[in-house]
Amino acid sequence: MALRPLREVAALFLKLGTVSFGGPAAHIALMEQETVSRRGWLTREHFLDLLAATNLVPGPNAVEMASHIGFVHAGWPGLVVGGASFILPAFCISLALAWAYVRFGSLPQVATLFYGINPIVLAIVLVATYRLGRAALRDWRAAVLAALCLLAALLGVHEVVVLLAAGAAGVLIYEGKRLSGRFAALGFLLGPLSASLTPDGRLLPLGLFFLKVGSLLFGSGMLLYAFIQRDLVIRYGWLNQQQLVDAIAAGQMTPGPVLSSATFIGYLLAGLPGAVVATVAVFLPSFVIVALVGPWIPRLRRSSIAQASLRGVNAAVVALILSVSVALLRTAIVDVWTALLLAAGVLALLRFRPNTLWLVLGGAVCGLVRYWLARWV
């Protein structure tokens, strides 16, 4: 095929991957502006069909949308180039942040930065949970399901089991009368996948872990941190709680997909090979899913079973992200000043909706100001 459409896809998504701060909603809004309004690569109705399909399958929505659009404009090569071009800037920036963190993270001045950043990160997670909850918990049944999922997460049930069981519960709750309970066991069929991470070595289990996460990530990229909290922090002790908070902060300071935190974490655990393996593993399922799902988009949108399962999974996503907030609270809030920063961050996000990059940088400045005041007072 002609190379011009492929070059256009690469140029557009490299640009968007470099400048698109603000999370998936902002990423998708920029894609709509560039591909529908400015370039006319697809109609608004077609764009909405693709967006609906990404909400019905696991994986980061923005990366999948980049792959879908690349496929529409430049065929199968465009599918790969679109998604990869959108990921590449975030990979490079996250890699640089991870190197700097490993090189300078032990200095007292850097510790003061994260004193201010940590409560802002917690505010971002809490507000994301609130907004997702408003969209996902649309009736009392979804709210009860979310509460049960939160209880299961706090009791140590693996996130994979919680997500799959919630999907099955959604089918039973919203389609149970029609299906007569035939799908009651669906949520437990893939439970053994949760054993895919073993503590022997690093690269292979690291790759398997992020491959699993990329295959089961519904609703929000922040669900990544629930998986990391359970496996890499609690179960295997490869990361400590502070490193998880710092990885979230790095993800908020980086343009492009939130899952670029995988690059940061991979570098912390296994250097450059770990960064590459983690990044490829967490995003690979997205490309496979787009290639498989694309032709089935109209049927998926019409499937009441798929919609019901998604409602259950979304309730579980809200609960799992909230469980991460509970764990982060102990690390981020250490005195009255960090509590005030948390409150200010929540207020700013709810009232003014600032770019999270500037909010994180503002938290870092607050940490530095406190450091210098403590030295002079």
Per-residue model confidence (pLDDT) at position 110: 67
Q: Which letter does DSSP use for residue 189 in this model?
A: T
Instruction: Name the E strands within 234-293.
Output: none
Put simply, whether the predicted model's pTM sits higher than 0.85 gets the answer no
Mean pLDDT check: name the lowest of 126-140, 265-279, 281-295: 126-140
When pLDDT is averaged across residues 320-347 and rounded to a whole number, the result is: 85
Residue at token pair 């809200």: 318
Residues 6+ apart with CB under 8 A from 287: 67, 79, 80, 83
Rg (CA), the chain: 21
Per-residue model confidence (pLDDT) at position 311: 78
Tell me: pLDDT of 196 over 60.
no
Over residues 128-182, the pLDDT tens digits come to 778 778 877 888 898 999 899 889 888 888 777 887 888 888 888 888 766 554 4
When pLDDT is averaged across residues 119-135 and rounded to a whole number, the result is: 80
Higher pLDDT, 105 or 372: 372
The three-state DSSP-derived secondary structure of 30-75 is: HHHHHHHHHCCCCCHHHHHHHHHHHHHCCCCHHHHHHHHHHHHHHH
Tell me: pLDDT of 344 over 90.
yes
Q: Would you call 269 exposed, middle or buried from its count of C-beta atoms within 10 A (0-12, 13-18, 19+)?
A: buried
SS3 of the chain: helix, strand, coil, percent, to 5: 85, 0, 15
Per-residue model confidence (pLDDT) at position 341: 92
Q: How far is it, in rounded angstroms, from Cα 94 to Cα 267?
A: 9
Q: How far is it, in rounded angstroms, from Cα 45 to Cα 269?
A: 43
Phi, psi of 156 (to 5 degrees): 100, 10
Q: How far is it, in rounded angstroms, from Cα 230 to Cα 205?
A: 15
Residues 6+ apart with CB under 8 A from 100: none
> How far is C-alpha 377 from the chain's CA centre?
41
Higher pLDDT, 46 or 238: 238
Q: How far is it, in rounded angstroms, from Cα 80 to Cα 14?
A: 13
> How far is C-alpha 188 from the chain's CA centre?
23
Number of H helices, E strands in the chain: 15, 0
Q: Which letter does DSSP use for residue 253 in this model?
A: T
Per-residue model confidence (pLDDT) at position 1: 53
Mean pLDDT check: name the lowest of 153-157, 239-243, 362-366: 153-157
> Could you tell me the CA-to-CA distances from 104 to 66, 110, 361, 365 in Å, in that order?
35, 7, 17, 17
Q: How far is it, in rounded angstroms, from Cα 281 to Cα 87?
A: 13
The winner for highest mean pLDDT among 2-16, 169-183, 209-223, 320-334 is: 2-16
Residue at token pair 């690979």: 284
Mean pLDDT, the chain, as a whole number?
81
**Amino acid making up residue 185:** A
Assigned token pair, 151: 């209880």
Residue at token pair 């997670």: 125
